[in-house]
Amino acid sequence: MSAAELRLPAPRRRWEAVPALRWGVLGTGWIAQRFTAALAASTDQRVVAVGSRGRASAQRFAGAAGVEVAHDSYEALLADPSVDVAYVATPHHTHRDLALLAVEAGKHVLVEKPLGLDAAQAQEVAEAAATRGVFCAEAMWTLFLPRLDVVRQVLERGLLGDVRTVLADHGEHFEPGHRILDPALAGGTLLDLGSYLTALATWVLGPAEAVHASGQDAPAGVNGQASALLAHVGGRRSVLHTTLFSVTPCTAVIAGTEATLVLPRRFFTPGDVELLAADGRLLDRWSDPEPGDHGGLHHQATEVAACIGAGRTTTPLRPAADVEAGMRALDEVAARLGVSYAAAGTG
């Protein structure tokens, strides 16, 4: 096929049979609400219980989301025999401990990104789950979206030629008081918005062999913005920028010698994929028919349920080695910037 005839493949349907699992959600915040709504709207997965640090917030969440059981602690949720799989939807500095608690309780677990504060924590969680024989994955929801399966197939088929460059940015605005601005909650842009960037870059180009970075603090005392240049195997490069100071286009570009993919506007959500010829002409565009940004959170839950149903303890869409590669790159960026999460403790 000549480069001019290149077309984008349709996303694949991965599973024929997906068991309807009973989910328990840890935390009652922004993402917990959207995840629960997405499952109810688009799947047979059921959130049957919620766990919170406080009885009132558990009951409020359960009432609003139509969840049957409200537990006033995470421990009680994890001891609930009606829960098949736990979803950790709490701030970053609590992920490791809560994931380990879930694993110890014998629950399968989906942990919001990032899986830990650093690569060592992420590895510890993955190893604990493997030892206990329960399913564990990081909820890097982007990599479960149909949009990214279009990209995955293009890369698997080598349609771009030699992929030498990845560019991506992620800048968003947050109101004062948001956890991302709080050092005690491991705030800052790196672990939050930045984790999407290193996840994408290392997924496409492999682990970073060298990292250059510079950044700037936000007034609250967290990392406010970071620019990173990652060198991957064979001289390939990724150029990444994340900021809390401004909204940016959040575009990702995966550029090869034969063709280029562009994921315009919020590349980490459902959306378009554009295929450009080597001379920049638009050859094809795939548009996600599914409306709504965070409605797409259900794809990761379906994958988790299908894997558990098939007796798997990991998913090939987000294997531990990929998590570790992204986290190691983040660790390196943090080290260059002098960013530490010591102020956060463990919850």
Ligand X SMILES: NC(=O)c1ccc[n+]([C@@H]2O[C@H](COP(=O)([O-])OP(=O)(O)OC[C@H]3O[C@@H](n4cnc5c(N)ncnc54)[C@H](OP(=O)(O)O)[C@@H]3O)[C@@H](O)[C@H]2O)c1
* Residues tagged active-site: 113
Site string for ligand X, 2-41 (x = CB under 6 A): -------------------------xxxxxx---------
CB of 219 to ligand X, least distance (A): 20
Tokens of residue 266, six digits: 């919020």
CA–CA separation, 197 vs 326, rounded Å? 8
* 285 sits in which H/E element: strand 282-286
Among 96, 107, 113, 232, binds ligand X (CB under 6 A): 113
Nearer to ligand X, 232 or 298 (CB): 298
Among 23, 87, 135, 141, binds ligand X (CB under 6 A): 141
CB of 162 to ligand X, least distance (A): 31
**Is 185 one of the binding residues for ligand X (CB under 6 A)?**
yes
CB of 254 to ligand X, least distance (A): 21
141 and 296 Cβ atoms separated by less than 8 Å: yes
Contacts of 38 (CB under 8 A, 6+ apart): 294, 295, 296, 297, 298, 301
Contacts of 147 (CB under 8 A, 6+ apart): 11, 263, 270, 271, 272, 273, 286, 288
Contact segment (CB under 6 A) with ligand X among 46-54, 121-129, 209-217, 221-229 equals: 46-54
SS3 71: strand
Nearer to ligand X, 142 or 225 (CB): 142
Q: CA angle at residue 184 from 116 to 295, to 5 degrees?
A: 55
**Is 192 one of the binding residues for ligand X (CB under 6 A)?**
yes
Count residues binding ligand X (CB under 6 A): 23
How much of the chain is helix, strand and coil, in % rounded to 5? 40, 25, 35
Q: Which residues inside 57-86 make contact with ligand X, applying CB under 6 A?
A: 57
Nearer to ligand X, 161 or 347 (CB): 347
**Is 179 one of the binding residues for ligand X (CB under 6 A)?**
yes
CB of 71 to ligand X, least distance (A): 10
Sign of CA dihedral 216, 91, 192, 199: positive
- Amino acid 137 reads A
**Is 53 one of the binding residues for ligand X (CB under 6 A)?**
yes
Which residues bind to ligand X, rule: CB under 6 A?
A: 27-32, 52-54, 57, 89-92, 94, 112-113, 141, 179, 185, 192, 294, 347
